[in-house]
Structure 1
């Protein structure tokens, strides 16, 4: 697949990936500046010329993806030295890391509030995993939306087990017993970013005794937000509740970047610019 087709598909799907671009070349090199390649954890699209050099770029990108390191990096590849290739040129590669969806939200329930909520979340760069034990409850057009996956949650425990770590879970099914089973399973996982339960304080009070009997401590139970929605929001219509829940999710969203440092680290750029200004560098570029 050509790199731009892969980039479009991966960004729409919210899949973590890296874009590697040749931004500078001197001497004999496999590809010209502007050549690009897209890399995921298990796929490579297009090429920077092959050989050891390309494998090193792929390895650097995958290490960053595995470590959730979204820092943009500028890598230098002396092909005769670092890469051991006989062409002997010199390549600078810009590696941009895209972490994929900013956050994953698991919505359990395709009732009125669930449907209104998913409509509000659809334009955001978030991955939404929409569960219901009644698959016929999903609207017919839901399957075609990007970053939205509709899943049958007839087996509540299996549905919770399949969630990615760090998911924000919202429990709002049509059945209180199903809600309680889901909250129990989510608490047992212990790695959810947040857990929200639709309903009143009295509903949550009725859940706590059986959850304690299931082995959950008060500290564990305190992770559950019930009622859900941003504080001070009024209104009981499904869309009003969905608006309040969406706003609350925005308060839970990670910042994603340091405001004082974006892109390539300044020390890296200084090193590159200083090398370009040095007499030896100019001489090397003439060869």
Structure 2
């Protein structure tokens, strides 16, 4: 009989690092890959050993002990500090001095953090345009949180490992809004104009969203803007709303054409500005890598 896992809720036998890495990459969940890349003296594991860490779980092992706990803590600090960016760092562990382990060797660990997704979109509405838009964006490395108050709205729709469907109460959407992740894009295209207004009233005051768009014509926005202003929404909040959404050059009405226009606009909004010439280097400095891997010179 196999020994019981330390965490009774965990799957046994435990998931190996490569299976966990593939699953997390597919699902778009933030995670860290820690790899021993160099070792000298007596060490718990040899170069090539890998560990995958999320905010709540650990997959595989670098040998255990205080050294492994230090790696896990560093990984989770990285995830917490910059959950939306990729980072690479090289850490040296002198096991006696830094980790308090009596084996006395030294290991260097490459810590690679992955945000899981390049962008996040919260999409309200699973109508024809919403379904066409999700079908376009699903193959991209985006996490899509898709909301609709109609329980059957998602049936037969396009999906994927990074598309997460959520029902919510149209009469009390505030609880759903609390689950929105800041710094993501939000699009409102529900089947109900009154619900659209309630969502806008709650979301427009937020300054932690990458963008906020409402489907509809210029006349719809004019009516909404006047009503939201009378309800007390300030000018700065109203200015955050894009309506109509999509490329201004298109007058297309077919759901797929609108979806293409909106997807193109989202991609333009999500593209970072070009780096200056002196900012092209990313990741670990070359000099550090040469010192770590002298054979590469």
TM-score of the superposition, structure 2-length normalised?
0.87
Alignment match, 1:282: none
Gaps of at least 5 residues in structure 2 are 1-14
Given that 2:120 and 2:185 are in contact with CA atoms closer than 8 Å, whether structure 1 keeps it comes out as yes
Inter-partner Cα distance in structure 2 for 1:102 and 1:95: 19
Cα distance in 2, alignment partners of residues 95 and 256 from structure 1: 26
Match of residue 64 from structure 1:
78
Report 1:1-287 matches (<5 A).
1-68=15-82, 70-140=86-156, 142=158, 145-154=160-169, 155-255=172-272, 260-272=280-292
List gaps (5 residues or longer) in structure 1: 278-287
Matched position secondary structure for 1:31:
coil
Answer with 2-11 or 247-256: which moved more: 247-256
Measured in 2, the distance between the counterparts of 1:146 and 1:36 equals: 24
Task: Measure, in 2, the Cα distance between the counterparts of 1:40 and 1:101.
Answer: 14
- The alpha carbon displacement at 1:56 in A equals 1.2
What is the alpha-carbon distance in structure 2 between the residues aligned to residue 7 and residue 235 of structure 1? 41
Deviations 1:101-142 (A, max 9, x none): 111101111111011001001101101011111121112355
CA RMSD across the alignment = 2.0
Q: From the superposition, tell whether residues 218 and 188 of structure 1 become closer, same or farther in structure 2 (CA, over 3 Å).
A: closer
Question: How many pairs does the alignment contain?
Answer: 275
CA distance in 1: counterparts of 2:234 and 2:125, whole angstroms: 26
1:149, 1:198 → 2: CA distance? 21
The Cα of 1:271 is off from its aligned counterpart by 4.3
Contact 2:131/2:157, CA 8 A, preserved across alignment? no
Greater share of residues in helix: 1
Q: After the TM superposition, which segments of 4 or more aligned residues of structure 1 sit over 4 Å from their partners? A: 256-259
TM (norm. structure 1) is 0.90
Aligned-pair distance for 1:257?
9.4
Residue 7 of structure 2 corresponds to which residue in structure 1? none
